[in-house]
């Protein structure tokens, strides 16, 4: 098999090539590159059987290579980041190696490429490895002359009351926030937060139980510390089905 190695860190590239040369007599190193530009130029005229590719290169990420070229070779990602590795594996269209590359893991990845039938689904690869939307990590609240950063991981809920919007932290502290609930909800990870009504957004992991009410509505039970008097934790009838699907996911 002809192999192409794309890695911008020279020591890492040299180490991988040494392991491939020493451990795989049927693999020939056909080429190497340290950037997106170099990789595209090489692949425009060469057609390797297998590509070892780092995700983050000196002039961008490897996604640009797939956008510009029709890659038919088997691809093994070499990355220092677990999130890329897990997504690549779940995509089912690529194998991966975590750096520094372990020899046993290298054999596993190459064997999988040998056994894999057909070409890889590059569209599925890109969908799995593209960075997801960036959600808000903290919110700034203003108390007189003070600015207090509140991490999203500390948030129990947001609610509206008397034309003001509030954030409640997990220890029960309540702050007024300037943003509307519409804007706040758009900045939150939908896997972690749900807008149960026009006036309330709750964090999934704070929901202790759900009570069915007459008329199809649902009443949420949250920890006593965050049971703010003015917040209504009733799920609107129109949002009940979506809420239950979200809670189950």
pLDDT of residue 118: 55
pLDDT of residue 85: 58
Which residue positions in the chain have pLDDT lower than 50? 92-93
Exposed / middle / buried, residue 194 (Cβ in 10 Å: 0-12, 13-18, 19+): buried
Count the Cβ atoms, other than its own, within 10 Å of residue 138. Answer: 12
d(CA 203, CA 187): 13
pTM: 0.53
* Distance (Å) of CA 198 to CA 51, 95, 204: 51, 44, 17
Give the start-end residues of each E strand in the chain.
Answer: 2-6, 28-33, 50-54, 56-57, 60-61, 74-79, 95-98, 138-143, 146-151, 155-161, 164-169, 174-177, 193-197, 200-203, 209-212, 218-221, 234-235
Question: 224: Cβ–Cβ under 8 A, 6 or more apart, which residues?
Answer: none
pLDDT of residue 86: 58
Question: pLDDT per residue over 4-36, tens digit each?
Answer: 999 999 999 999 999 999 999 999 999 999 999
d(CA 182, CA 141): 17
In order of their start, the domains of the chain are 2-129 (3.40.50.2300), 138-248 (2.40.50.40)
pLDDT of residue 77: 83
Residue closest to 165 by CA, chosen among 156, 149, 177, 152: 177
For 77-121, give the secondary structure using H, E and C: EEECCHHHHHHHHHHCCCEEEECCCCHHHHHHHHHHHHHCCCCCC
């Amino acid at each position: 098999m002809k192999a192409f190695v794309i890695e911008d860190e020279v020591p890492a590239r040299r180490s991988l090539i040494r392991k491939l040369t020493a451990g795989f007599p049927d693999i020939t190193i056909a080429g190497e590159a340290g950037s997106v530009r170099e990789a595209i130029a090489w692949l425009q005229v060469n057609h390797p059987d297998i590509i070892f590719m780092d995700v983050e290169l000196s002039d961008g990420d490897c996604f640009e290579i797939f956008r510009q070229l029709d890659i038919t070779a088997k691809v093994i990602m070499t990355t220092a980041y677990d999130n890329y590795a897990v997504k690549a594996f779940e995509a089912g269209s690529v194998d991966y190696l975590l750096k520094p590359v372990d020899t046993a893991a290298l054999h596993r990845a190459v064997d999988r490429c040998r056994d894999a039938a057909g070409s890889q689904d590059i569209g599925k690869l890109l969908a799995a490895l593209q960075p997801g939307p960036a959600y808000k990590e903290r919110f700034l609240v203003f108390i007189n002359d003070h600015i207090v950063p509140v991490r999203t991981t500390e948030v129990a809920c947001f609610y509206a009351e008397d034309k003001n919007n509030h954030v409640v932290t997990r220890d029960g502290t309540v702050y007024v926030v300037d943003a509307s609930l519409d804007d706040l909800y758009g900045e939150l990870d939908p896997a972690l937060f749900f807008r149960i009504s026009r006036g309330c957004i709750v964090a999934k992991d704070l929901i202790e139980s759900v009570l069915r009410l007459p008329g199809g509505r649902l009443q949420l039970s949250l920890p006593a510390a965050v049971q703010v008097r003015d917040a209504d934790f009733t799920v609107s009838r129109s949002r009940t089905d979506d809420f239950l699907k979200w809670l189950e996911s």
